[in-house]
Structure formats: C-alpha cells, structure tokens
Amino acid sequence: MNSIVLFVKERRKTLKLSQEELAFKAGVGLRFLRELERGKTTLRLDKVNQVLELFGKQVGVIDLSRE
C-alpha cells in the first residue's frame, strides 16, 4: 500500500480524528480524504499537501537512482 496512504491513516487514527474531522481541519472535502485513504492514484498534489501539512509534511522528490 502507498506510504502516503498508510501515513495519513495512521496519523489520523493516532490523533483520534475521524475522516470528517481531518478533512475539515485540512480544508479538503470528505470525498477527497476518503479517496486519499483508499489509495486513489489520481489526486491533486496540492490537496494532498494540504492534508500532509497538518502533520508537518509535504510530498517531495525522491532520488530513485540510489546505487
């Protein structure tokens, strides 16, 4: 499963937030948050970053050419 999906689900549950509460705090729609937690592959990165910002994180570039 996608690491972003796992991170968001685990953090939300650790903080004892419902999906509705997290969506509200992040300023995104409930439908968007549910799709994010289900691992939908076509999501707007700006909205993903809105959710991650609550946890002090953001989507970034990872160098895959590590040898």
Give per-residue pLDDT as tens, 22-39: 999 999 999 999 999 999
Question: Can you give the pTM of this predicted structure?
Answer: 0.85
Cβ count within 10 A of residue 52: 20
Q: Once rounded to an integer, what is the mean pLDDT over residues 10-21? A: 97
Distances in Å between the alpha carbon of 13 and those of 2, 44, 61? 17, 23, 26
pLDDT given for residue 67 in this prediction:
61
| Matching CATH number, 3-54, of 3.40.120.10, 1.10.260.40, 3.40.190.10, 3.40.50.2300 | 1.10.260.40
Average pLDDT of the chain? 94
* % of the chain at pLDDT higher than 90: 85
**Domain ranges for the chain:** 3-54
Type of residue numbered 36:
L
Rounded CA-CA distance 33/39 in Å is 10
